[in-house]
Structure 1
Amino acid sequence: MKILLLAGNTLRAKAYAQSLAHANFEGLEVKGLLFGDFNKSSAIPHLNVETENYFTNHNIFIPNYENSLEQTFEDNHWSFSKVANRDVNSEEVLAEIDRLDCDLVVFAGYGGQLLKSPHFTAARQYLHMHPGKLPLERGSTTIYYSVLNQRKCTVTAFFMTPEIDNGKNILYKEYEVFGKNVDVDNWFDNVVRADCFVSALGMLLSGKATPETPEGISDEYYVIHPVLKHCALLSLRES
């Protein structure tokens, strides 16, 4: 299988690439298309004790955000190209995806980006990891809604379509709700998505995946209000 990591200059893309390297799958050709501004570096979020303990206790691989995405590709002898355009739907990005010729595109772009229909005209499929149980938890910031609804935090791996959060599901992976002081936005969200990604990819490579069309339609969750987010965090137990 030939896969392409369609990656912005983000923490999530770093987590995906490093988790993929750690999984060390056989029979996999990995390429990268790094789009956007990779000359700009952002602050590296601190990994506090509570966050590190959560991952360690649940046997989840912890990426090193100090390592650049380019360095991970070079260390693993994966080829990659760059496009300066930050628009994932730009003609430059679409043309480069066509040129790189892959079976599966793994989407790790910038927050809030949506793929438009030209991405879905070719035979290749797009894999996305959504932090919520689909179709129950559609939309944004669903991790906090899971906490408020007293449910486990679920990540859904699915094949994308032009409709938001509406493709065939490959895998649901549940994670215990984190405790107080765990860094949700910088660490938990990105790392559990990366963990689900390698699990889903393993199933696809082994032929054990049976993608299923989700049944039912739920309300869409929008970006959580700061007061609701605060309530969700207040409800957490001590780590």
Structure 2
Amino acid sequence: MQIMNDFLFFASDSCRSRAYIDLMLSSGLRPSMVFLINIASVAEKSDQTYEHTELFCNTIPLSEQLDQYRIPYKTFNIDKLNNENLLLSLKDAPQNHVIFSIAGRILRKEFFNFNKKYIHVHPGRLPYFRGSTPMYYTMLKEESLVASAIFLEKEIDTGPLIAECAYPIPHDVSIIDTVYDPWMRADLLVKILLEYNINGKFSTLPQSNDQGETYYVIHPVLKCLAIKKAQKTINPLI
């Protein structure tokens, strides 16, 4: 198991964070430190389910996974992300890279005062599908699913692009939100971390500010249309 000394994991007990840590561990990688962040105001109950899946370990709390593999972590029970204790701990952390996995949260300007690089995996093709629920807009317009890894900047989903990867639409479209989206992001995360191990750096490309569109949470009717359209092109083996 290789300890990634320059990587701090910003996590919550969510499907996405469990997918991230499980796929990292399965690939022989582990972050040197985890900040396990519980935000009282975050309404992400659908992302906190313990639904069984063959794609990653999703049936036990993240803290148990961390204990099992003796990964050091610090727990923050806070009411907002820009909490003073969290910011001070981040400032003092020696790691330069932060893997970001807090659903529904946007980094405030204070986080960009510490010369850290925040890695985020976005479930859409950038710069064309920025914002919320991009997987359904992508399915609606392109009949595909794409994940994009970026460095976060102050503006939403505008940072340098590290990598992107296309994924087949799963046969069971009901798992997209709670299982497939987290797995897709985790898969790309591991790909770029393994590349970092080989090259000692991330290769990036700037995003074009003249392209793309920022989307908001998709309307249920449009979501149904996206699913129906996607079902015509699904991979029956998934």
Task: Count residues with an aligned counterpart.
Answer: 221
Root-mean-square deviation (CA, aligned residues, Å) is: 2.0
TM-score (norm 1): 0.85
Q: CA–CA distance in 2 between the matches of 1:14 and 1:180?
A: 21
User: Of residues 196, 216, 220 in structure 1, which corresponds to 2:214?
Assistant: 220
Moved segments of 4+, more than 4 Å: none
Q: Percent identity?
A: 26
1:107 equivalent to 2:107? Answer no
Q: CA–CA distance in 2 between the matches of 1:96 and 1:79?
A: 14
Equivalent pair of 1:85/1:92 in contact (CA under 8 Å): no
Equivalence for 2:186: 194
Q: CA–CA distance in 1 between the matches of 2:81 and 2:173?
A: 33
Equivalent pair of 2:125/2:138 in contact (CA under 8 Å): no
Equivalence for 1:87: 80
Equivalence for 2:35: 33
Q: CA–CA distance in 2 between the matches of 1:20 and 1:188?
A: 16
Q: Which segments of 5 or more consecutive residues in structure 2 lack a partner in the other structure?
A: none
Deviation for aligned residue 1:29: 4.9
1:148 equivalent to 2:154? Answer no
User: Of residues 67, 71, 78 in structure 2, which corresponds to 1:78?
Assistant: 71
Equivalent pair of 2:39/2:81 in contact (CA under 8 Å): no
Q: 1:123 to 1:195 in 2, by over 3 A?
A: same
Give the counterpart letter for 1:12 in structure 2.
R
SS at match of 1:5: strand
Give the counterpart letter for 1:76 in structure 2.
Y
Q: Which segments of 5 or more consecutive residues in structure 1 lack a partner in the other structure?
A: 53-61
Q: 1:112 to 1:37 in 2, by over 3 A?
A: closer
SS at match of 2:78: coil
Equivalence for 1:204: 196
Give the counterpart letter for 1:231 in structure 2.
L
Equivalent pair of 1:9/1:37 in contact (CA under 8 Å): no
Equivalent pair of 1:182/1:188 in contact (CA under 8 Å): no
TM-score (norm 2): 0.86
Please identify which structure carries the higher strand content.
2
